[in-house]
Amino acid sequence: MKRRTIDGADTPSDRELRERKSVSSCAECRSFLIEKAQRLMHDVKSAQTQVEEMEAALAAARGQSHPLLQRDATLERGKYPLKESTVDDIADVLGSLSLGLDGKAKYYGESAAAEVGSAYGEEPVKLAAYYSMVLAFSSCSPIWTPPYVYLPVPKTRLFILAKDDDSSWQSCDNDMPFEIVELSNAFPIGLVGSAYSKYELLQYLPSEDKALQFIDTYYNNGALIFNPIVRTDLMDSIITPLYRNTGATAVDTIHPHQLSILFAVLAAGALPNEYVQSTPLARQYHMLSRAAFSLAPIRRERNVASVQALLLLMWFIRAADPKSHEERWILGGICVKVAQQIGLQREIPGDDPDQNEVQKRRHVFWELYAYEAWASLINGRPPALRLEENDCLFARDYEPFLNSSRSLEESFDGWKHRYGATALTAAVRHIFLVKPVPYQELLDLDKEVRQSPVPGHLRCPVDSSDGDCAWSADSSKAFQQYVLSDMHETKALAG
């Protein structure tokens, strides 16, 4: 058997052998397909020319009255216009598929953010057109990543996968009892028959003053952009029964997943900020949140608090370990399934439902919908929720803004939910289409994203011509203004 030459060049017999065995290099296969596509396009154009010549001859002989020359017939024949197409059109929608020698596989679509694939030796580049508009939200949120994405790769890449996510920060048990560690490790499915109950976890709650301090920190930082439980709900349904009502009866009304919510908020409030390593106290509260969640296995019981707790825990995991993409992606899928199990995507039937519960369900659903859409863009994977499959209305605005004209404007959360249902949904639909869309559709989408309405109090001056708005003196409001300006004013990036 002949071998390859030392300099790597193929001998004629090498090429013949590969052709017989159908084993071609990627470059040869790509070149072959392009040549075939070009030859086919040439044949089609030649056939079209012949058809036009025959139509002209038929018109000269029979006139325009012949059935084959009627306008409807020619339109039907030309219903699907010819399009220059090469293998590049297919390659551009593949994304990146990573395969491991042990059978592991990992897929990131074309919109995947830079931080998702940087662990695998990929080089982040900016993606043009409307992707930057949608992913721009991530550049200023403490939850998501900068608007750098991978260009689609022309072929599947094969290499040994690195270790997925470094979750060593979660292994620190902070001298917690074995039963709590066991419950934490059982998250998110839960543990049946634990020796502990929620009463054993209550001893780890801080004083009310300290708890309120952590809650203030969370709502002044993390909840500015991502807010699965509004403050009034937290105070009325969890804080008041635990801290301000005496007796075991009040505690009995607290579901383990509600206790998980509280510990998750405390963990978020105990973080110095979203960009530094989590503290031992924050990690302890995170472990307690996971343990409380596991006390009520989701295969047996689920409620709105289950979805809220999962969303909050995903937020903390992102803050504590920015590389935890796969863990958060899987938890997001579980969160969607739990939401669908309790029918969160549907309106509550009946003439007189509990309006507080209705509003809570609506708010949590649209928070989940927006999170799922952004996560899908960042990971380059289709979302698990589709707008067409729900009839959930928008929640009433919990914190409308009273402007100088004494009229109410929608809050950031209200705008976010409507934006998610309109412009963001349109972007997601386009990005995950298998076949490339016409350029005009991209321009229309870009226009829709840029022209989506923004409440006046959230507008900010992006250049000297914006004299009718100003930055807020409130740092929290200014941060939300920045998010919106980044959304609407990020220009199309060259790529």
How many angstroms separate the most distant Cα atoms in the chain?
100
Let me know whether 427 and 282 are in one domain.
Answer: yes
Give residue-wise pLDDT tens across range 23-80. 445 555 556 666 667 777 777 788 888 888 887 887 777 766 666 666 544 444 444 4
Same domain, 258 and 153: no
Q: Do 251 and 109 share a structural domain?
A: no
Q: Number of C-alpha atoms within 13 angstroms, CB side, residue 33?
A: 14
Is residue 9 one of the residues assigned to a domain?
Answer: no
Judge whether 292 and 267 are in contact, CB under 8 Å.
no
Residues 190 and 295: beta-carbon distance below 8 Å: yes
Rounded average pLDDT over 181-192: 93
pLDDT digits (tens, 9 = 90+) for 91-142: 454 566 666 667 677 766 655 655 555 544 443 333 333 333 333 333 333 3
Rounded to whole angstroms, the Cα distance separating 485 from 458 reads 9
**140 and 256 inside one domain:** no
Pairing of strands 401-402, 408-409: antiparallel
Structure tokens at 433: 């289409």
Which residue matches tokens 């030459």? 5
Per the model's pLDDT, the better-predicted residue between 173 and 448 turns out to be 448
Q: Note whether 102 and 177 are same-domain residues.
A: no
* Average pLDDT score over residue span 320-348: 91
pTM of the model: 0.68
| Angle at which helices 256-269 and 208-220 cross, to 10° | 70
Nearest to 430 by CA among 420, 444, 418: 444
The verdict on residue 1 lying in a domain is: no
- Average pLDDT rounded to a whole number, residues 164-186: 74
Report the domain count for the chain: 3
How many CB atoms are located within 10 Å of the residue 382 CB? 12
* 401 backbone dihedrals φ, ψ, rounded to 5°: -100, 130
Whether 86 is covered by a domain: the verdict is no
- Same domain, residue pair 152 and 174: no
Which H or E run includes 38?
Answer: helix 26-62
Q: Cα–Cα distance between 78 and 88 in angstroms, integer? A: 24
Across the range 451-457, mean pLDDT stands at 80
Both 234 and 329 in one domain: the answer is: yes
- State whether 132 and 70 are in the same domain: no
Residue 155 is encoded by which pair of tokens? Answer: 């072929």
The confidence score (pLDDT) of residue 323 equals 82
If we measure between CA atoms, which residue out of 323, 379, 487 comes closest to residue 150? Answer: 379
**Rounded to the nearest 5°, which phi and psi values hold at 402?**
-95, 110
- Joined together, the tokens standing for residue 266 give 């405390």
Please give the order of strands across the beta sheet that includes 96-99. Answer: 105-108, 96-99, 157-158
Within 8 A by CB and 6+ apart from 44, the residues are 82
Domain identity same for 152 and 172: no
CA angle in degrees (0–180, nearest 5) for 114-118-119:
145
Distance of CA 72 to the CA centre of its chain: 45
Domain, as residue range, for 137? 93-158
| Residues written for the chain | 495
pLDDT score recorded for residue 348:
81
Residues 146, 205 within the same domain: no
Q: Is residue 413 part of a domain?
A: yes
Domain-located, residue 83:
no
Q: Which two tokens stand for residue 434?
A: 């298998």
Instruction: Tokens 């937290």: give the residue.
Output: 234
Q: Alpha helix locations (H) across 63-109?
A: 71-77, 87-91
Q: Are residues 116 and 218 in the same domain?
A: no
pLDDT for 281: 92
Same domain, 269 and 331: yes
Q: Residue 374 domain-assigned?
A: yes
Q: Which of 451, 452, 461, 459 is nearest to 477 (CA)?
A: 459
Q: How far is CA 469 from the centre of its chain?
A: 31
Assess contact for 366 and 414: CB atoms under 8 A.
no
Cα Rg of the chain, angstroms = 28
Inside any domain, residue 283: yes
Q: Which residues are within 8 A (CB) of 61 and not within 5 positions of it... i.e. 6 or more apart?
A: none
Which of 72-81, 356-365, 438-447 has the least mean pLDDT?
72-81
Q: Are 264 and 285 in contact (CB under 8 A)?
A: yes
10 assigned to some structural domain: no
- Residue that terminates a domain, selected from 105, 128, 158: 158
pLDDT at 361: 95
- Rounded to whole angstroms, the Cα distance separating 443 from 112 reads 21
